[in-house]
A and B are shown apart, each in its own frame.
Chain A
Amino acid sequence: MNEVEILNDSAAPPRLNGELVFEAPWQSRAFGVTADLVESGRFSWEDFRTRLITTIGAWESTDVHERPPWDYYTCWVQALEQMLSDSTLLDSSELDGRAFTYAQRPHGHDH
């Protein structure tokens, strides 16, 4: 047993300050899917990061009155979509179609 394991119970855990790592389940899924794709070698964090910088930069350069409220993981998902499209892993029209289908589901069947 190393010191990290000993300290895990006693030292400040990630949530000690009351801040959740993820604020909604979809944020953790978006993160986890990205991490899995990187770990399995589909693309690198660096490839993903350049697209994340682009989507964050696009939000920042949009007029204050025309942009949605700041949301980091919305930028993340946009970057992931771009990454999937650029690496031909997932076609954007296929994703649009599936998202449209899911949006039509009756309430109570949306999971």
Chain B
Amino acid sequence: MSSETDHHHQVDPRSPEVRTEALEDLLVEKGLVDRSRVDALIDRFENDLGPMIGARLVAKAWTNPDFRERLLADADAVLISEGVQGAEIEHIEVKANERGVHNVVVCTLCSCYPWALLGLPPNWYKSPEYRARIVREPRKVLEEMGLTLETETELRVWDSSSETRFLVLPEQPEGTDDLDLEDLARLVTRDSMIGVAKAITP
């Protein structure tokens, strides 16, 4: 192999890495995209948005029946009054788990997800397998993910769309009534708000 070929490793111009770099550079040159704004947006989605925002709302709903009622009736209004960033661009509905009813969320067509409350979705949520199977055989999928439901529990699968995103309000674990808001929020995992797990029992 000559030194010339050593310097030319094979890069496919159709690879998404190369396409993305070319696309960003061209858009920047045309003044359509600003790199510092892109940096700030990525930073926000990587660091500021995440399940801790949804977890706080769930913990508050556990401790405050009036707040819970308002959250279930009109989540959008509650999110705006709570100062949740980005809430104005998504219509969110909250579905409460209770004795005999378990809710789970999917986006069958792509990857719609309550960004403002949970950040960006995990890989499995976007996978073709989860999107197809959670509708067809939800009980089995949940079992594979480690959540076994009682046979008499009714399972409700909510298909997200760009119009409506869903958040599951998990049941409060028993014996946690004396915990404060912050400790309660730690029990609320991302997966429990998608509906593929229960909140952590301390």
Contacts and interface: CB of A to CB of B under 8 A. Distances in A.
Interface of A: 2-4, 6-8, 10-14, 17, 19, 21-24, 26, 28-33, 35-37, 39-40, 42, 45-46, 49, 52-53, 56-57, 59-60, 70-74, 77, 80-81, 84, 89-90, 94-96, 98-108, 110
B109 interface: yes
Contacts of B12: 103
A40 to B, nearest CB: 8
Q: What DSSP secondary structure best describes chain B's contact surface?
A: helix
B49 interface: yes
A37 B32 contact: yes
A104 B7 CA distance: 10
Contact of A7 (B123, B182, B191): B182
Contact of A94 (B26, B39, B45, B128): B26
Interface in B95-117: 109-112
Interface in B114-173: 119-120, 122-123, 126-128, 162
Given A7-B56, A56-B110, A107-B8, A26 B51 contact: no
B53 A36 contact: no
A84 B38 CA distance: 17
B74 interface: no
B111 A72 contact: yes
A57 to B, nearest CB: 8
Contacts of A45: 89, 162
Interface of B: 6-9, 11-27, 30, 32-34, 37-39, 41-42, 45-53, 55-56, 60, 83-84, 89, 109-112, 119-120, 122-123, 126-128, 162, 181-182, 185-186, 188-191
A12 B55 contact: yes
Nearest to B119: A14
Given A42-B32, A90-B23, A103-B12, A11 B55 contact: yes
